[in-house]
Structure formats: structure tokens, C-alpha cells
Structure 1
Amino acid sequence: MLKNVVAVVLEEVHPFELGVACEIFGLDRSEQGLPVYDFALASDRPGELRTHAGFTVNVPYGAERLAEADLVIAAATGIRDSYPIELIEALRAVVDRGARVLSICSGTYLLGAAGLLDGRRCTTHWRHAEDLAERFPLTRVEPDVLYVDDDPVITSAGTAAGIDASLHLVRKLQGVEVARGIARRMVVAPHREGGQAQYVNRPLANEECTSFGSVLDWMRAELDRDWTVDQLAARAHMAPRTFARRFQQETGTTPLRWLIGQRVLYAQRLLEETTDPVETVAARVGFGNAATLRHHFGRWLGTTPGAYRRAFGG
């Protein structure tokens, strides 16, 4: 069931992420035959709360309002060392009685503080993924996806991914037509391709490696070559076995995986900045053909070269 929805508001809440919850669950769309939700804002201290943008929002309910909810949404806010015990206890009770919780962006930290991520998969904005994993080591953070549904805990990535997660939950509980109707009213896609990996800004030269700097530069300059470990080891004046071991130690990956990652990064740049056909891009970056490029694009970014170009091409 999805009828009663509460958005949790903390001081310095991010207004866009809060607005996502309000837009999807707080509007009366009954004239279109769409469900009307009993939507409310709640906080540990109701009243006027300042948003991240400087203006205030009136929050009429306290943590006790969560006891009635079928879904509780934790909107993004500034990451803090501790969270209100009233909200933590109320969120635990929500899950204990079989209702659902959904976080948007850094709202994941509130769920983590309540222990609701322990033993579960989750996600958050890619900038916070590493920190979230360190802070809550019992969870498995998936940084490349737009949302994770580990029922009854749904977590979404940065900002607009809250729309994706919310529409997913509506689609799951109330059907495709309801989710499509809300998406059409919002003028958004009912389902986006790929994950948030495609939005991460990774510079092409992203390693500082004292022993292999010249070798990496050499590989970057000729990404379209089919390098062998023997060739790279000779360039580094090492035995192949020693080279492979030390490369892994200093870069955190294998020579082949490093090369594939650089090719994907270069392909992203070409898809953004040129109108070259996908076959040409594949050849220029060293993948040889479009099928191989699509394969690696899907594995690294969760999308296709064509979809990526439509989203980011100049």
C-alpha cells in the first residue's frame, strides 16, 4: 500500500530534493485519475526550518507523524556527525512494522545512522559514496547506480535520482500507468537509462604514479594500440611479472583494466565533443568496433554510447 507519505525535514535541508518528494507525493492529480497521497512534512523539532538555500520552510509535524506513514522520505541535508534520536527511533519503527523508507542523495546518512543500511545494498551521490562506505561498513554501497531497492529500504543517488527512485516505487506498488501519468505531468522520463557513473567527472589523467608515470603517458598517447604486458614491462625496464605486480600495487588495478578505463574516458570525451560516428569513436580509442565499445560502455557506465551522446553531446 502507498497512501500516507511523510518527508523528513532537518535544518539545512536541500530544497530541490525536498521538492522532489513534494512534487511526486504532495500534489492532487485526481482530475487525471491519479492517486492522491496523504502527504506531510515532519521533523524532530517542528516549526520554521532553514533550508540549504537560505529561505525557511514550515514543518508542522514532529517525529510521531512517522508512525502513520506507509513511506518515509529522508531528503538530502548537510552531512553531520549525529542525527536526532527521535527520528532515528521513529525510522526504525517504520521499518519494523513493514512500511518503507526512501532516501534522496545525502538523506542516506540518516538511514545509516538509524542502522537501516546494515546488511543491505544502498547508494548515494557519487561524491559521498566512499565516505558513506567508511562510515557504515556493514552496508554495501553501489556508487554507479541511480537507485537501489533493497526492500523496504530504497536509496537514491544525487539530486534528480530521487525522481527515479520515487517513480520506481510508484511503478512497483501502483503500476506502470500511475508512474507514467505522474512522470508525464512532471515532464520527466518515467525511466532513465544507465546509472550515475555516466555523470561522474573523471579526468583522463587520473593517476599520480611515480614509478609508472612515463609508461602511463606513453599508453595514453597511443590508446588505439594493443599493448602487451611484455611491451609495457620493457618500457619500464622491468621483468613482466614484476611490472604486473608493481602496477597493481601503485595504480590499484591491472594494466588491461587501466587501459580499458582510459579508453572509455576518451570515448566519453569524443562522444561529447565530436559528431564522429560510434564506429569511428571506437576505432580512435582502441576498441576496434562499435560492439566492443558498447560492451565496455555498458559495463563501466551502465549506458550505451548513443544514450550518452544524447545526454551529453554538444
Structure 2
Amino acid sequence: MRTDAANVDQPATTPAFQRISFGRKAKNHLATTLFALAFLIAVVPLLWVIYTLLSRGLKPLLSTNWWSHSFSGLLPTDFGGGINHALAGTLLQGLVTAVISVPLGVMVAIYLVEYGQGSRFARAATFMVDILSGLPSIVAGLFIYALWITTFGLNRSAFAVSLSLVLLMLPMVVRTTETMLRIVPDELREASYALGVPKWKTIVRVVLPTALSGILTGVMLGLARVLGETAPLLILVGYTNSISYNMFGGEMASLPLTIYMERGTATEAGDYRMWGAALTLVLVIMLINLVATALSKLFAVKTK
């Protein structure tokens, strides 16, 4: 009986690591190879684009007049000039777009998370945001053209461009803000309510500061995305070689529109200015992404 008891209490001895079969090794190597090839297929075009931009667009950026002058007075065959007019127009249109879309997007997201909570109006708003998320830029430009110019009889202007960019940026702001607000723990809201703080003040003083880091990141990334749109610019505003700050009338340059117009010159000088404007646009978008990263770390909730 002792022998039987000892055999029962003794655990079964199995090897810690069994021999891996040839089929499993082959599948593992095949999957590794496929993932590596997919990575190379995605990276090679990116490196090619970066190399092309640097090789063709770096020379204009290193010229002394590129950042301080415009293309005013230049002939299609003249080298030189600067991107000052297009850079100012792009930043001004982006600023107006952000001023309109950010408050609207944040307030819509607050309603959906804090007040709507599955109501019919909230479901309708969510459905409309989903539609705007897939709206092509050319359709947004045509809608503003039909409303702003055809219906109201107003002139083509940079402000109309900003309105079309609002339609493209607004769903990104709403989705990002909504996601960040849902991440905020309900315990923070309940603690604030327990102290007698009204709901609106809880949202302003507790919920929004907690989610501010992610909201700012989404806003900056959404702005970087819409600044590269070209279709609304072709429909809603004319191009000028000189700098302009008039948002409600006249022509205004921008980086995407400058790239398009210089491409149509079919001259060596036009290619020179086109690639310089393209590299400038990439640098502006990269700078916005870096600012978004810095703001995310600056306004992140401190855990210690």
C-alpha cells in the first residue's frame, strides 16, 4: 500500500520543452518572411518619396529668399522667389478652420458622452458624424460652393475654403474628443458630484482637463490632415503670386494650390518651385505632428 500511495502522490514527469515539429518551424519562418516583406513594401515607397522630395526640393528651401519673399513678379521661366505668400495663406486658412471646428467638435462630443447617452438626437448626430468621416474633399468643396456662392451669392474666398475644411476636420475632432472623454474614469465624475459640484463644472474642471492631452493631439493631427487638401482650393478660391490676408474676398495662395499651379507651367523653373512648395508642405505637417506630440506630453495627466 505504501508503494501505491507513493505512486499516486508522485507527479507525472513530463519534459518542460517538447521538440518543435518541422511543420510549426516552417509556418513560423513563413509568417516572419511575409511580415518582413510587407514591412519592406510599405517602407520602400516612403523612403523613395522622402528621397525625391529632398533631392528636388531642398535646393529652393536653402535659398536666401525662399522664406521671406513671394513669387510676385516672376515669369514662368524665372528661378527664385519665395513661398511666403503660400505659407501665410495655408496657416491662415488652417487657423480659421481650427477656430470654427474645434469648439463645435468638442461641444458635440461632450453632448454625446455626457448628456445624450443613447437618445435619438445623439444617435442621429453620431450617424451624421460617421457620414462626414467618409466625405470626399471634392464633395465638401462642391457643397460649400453651392451654399456659399450659388445660394448666398457671395464671392469665392479663402473663408469658403476654411468652411469646406471644417466639414473635413469636424468629424475627426468629434471622434477623438468622444474617445478621450469615455476613457476618463467615472469615479472622477462621481467624486466631483459627491462634493456638490454641478455637472457642467465637473465637465469643465475635471473631465476636460483629464482628457486634454488626447484632445489636443487629435486636433493637431486633424489640422495636419486637412492642410494638404487641394480639391476645395481649386473650387472655392483663386491663386495669386503675392501675399494676401483677406479671407473674405479676392485670391489667396496656399501650399497645395501653389504645387498645382506651378505644375501647370511645364517649365524647369516651375518644377523648381513646385518641389520646393511640396517639401515645405511636408515640413509644415511634420512640425504640426511634433507639436501634437509635445502637447500630448505636456498636458498628460501626472501619475506621480
| Global fold match (TM > 0.5) | no
Between Structure 1 and Structure 2, the one with more helix by share is 2
Calculate the TM-score normalised by the size of structure 2.
0.26
Between Structure 1 and Structure 2, the one with more strand by share is 1
Calculate the TM-score normalised by the size of structure 1.
0.25
Q: Which has the higher contact order (CA 8 A, sep 6+)?
A: 2
